[in-house]
Structure 1
Amino acid sequence: MTVRYDEPNRVARATNALFRWLAEAGVSVAGTHALRVRGRTTGKLRVVVINLMTVDGHDFVVSPRGNTQWARNARAAGEVEMGPRWRRRTVRITEIGDDAKPELLRRYLDRWFWEVKGHVGGLTPDSSDEQIRAVAPSIPIFELR
């Protein structure tokens, strides 16, 4: 995996905090959901807001900013909690190999590019297959089981 992390600025952190609060309250905005994962070193439950993508009956989460803390924590833990505070469920999480990422990234970009533009390694919905394959190793994608 190529290591890339686009750290959010102050405005992005504030916006994410608002959407995280809404997701934890059970309000989904354009497919957002609360994802909780245990910290690798602290063991504390960390909450982030993610876009849940369903493809052929399988649920996926993408870390468009790259190898973020939540992606590293999820990789190490092998499981996450999904959903609002009162209906959260624990699910196993498996990282997708680089060969399977281009199709999933294309679908993700088609749906959420307006939200993540500038944070997906320079990709756009019009990126060529070669461009997507080149950037795919730097974007963790996980399947929820």
Structure 2
Amino acid sequence: MTASSAPYLRPPWGARVIGNRMARLFARSVLSTLSVRGRTSGRWRSVPVAVLDHGGERYLIAPRGNTEWARNLRAAKSGRLQRKGRVEEFEAIEVPADERPPLIAVYLEQFGRFPTVAETFRQLPDPADHPTFRVVDSRGLR
């Protein structure tokens, strides 16, 4: 299976329209805003994401599979994370599928209580279905 044919679980209307807005308001302590350039338009696209801190590294995991943000990040190889008014530019290194299971397990421990997160991993159980990126500070720092 190629990255472009990997499964994607489209969120229901309520999650797309209302959920993302509510998440930005009520889950600020947990969520960051990921901004990445669109792979065809070049325009910045933003979405709330949960950043996994694990083993001294940070990761972005796409619970819904091959999302637009994951495909854009794969193409751009860099992006911005904003949290609590602080903006950080970073480089993204995709984690091979065989290295994802322990990261997904920790992600589920930390974020599985949020609406639909655990369910998406049940619907897409193969770690290869969840693009995962290590976040590396553009200045060469964590």
TM over 0.5: yes
Counterparts of 1:108-123 in structure 2, within 5 Å, are 108-115=107-114, 116-122=117-123
Please report how far the alpha carbon of residue 56 of structure 1 lies from its aligned counterpart in structure 2 after TM superposition: 1.4
- Distance in 2 between the 1:79 and 1:85 partners? 20
Q: Matches of 2:7 and 2:84 in 1, distance apart?
A: 31
| 2:50 maps to 1:51 | yes
- 1:126 equivalent in structure 2: none
**How far apart are residue 83 of structure 1 and its match?**
1.0
Q: Residue 129 of structure 2 corresponds to which residue in structure 1? A: 138
- TM-score of the two chains, using structure 1 as the length reference: 0.81
How big is the alpha-carbon RMSD for the aligned residues of Structure 1 and Structure 2? 2.0
Gaps of 5+ in 2: 137-142
Given candidates 3, 7, 10, the residue that maps to 2:10 is 7
Q: 2-side partners of 1:73 and 1:121: how far apart?
A: 24
How far 1:143 moved relative to its partner? Answer: 0.4
Change (3 A) 1:85 1:51: closer
SS in 2 for 1:111: helix
More moved, 87-96 vs 11-20: 11-20
Task: Report how many residues are paired.
Answer: 130
Match of 1:28 in 2: 28
**Residue in structure 2 matched with residue 66 of structure 1 by the alignment:** 65
**Could you tell me the TM-score, scaled by structure 2's length?**
0.83
- Equivalent pairs: percent with the same residue? 31
CA distance in 1: counterparts of 2:94 and 2:13, whole angstroms = 29
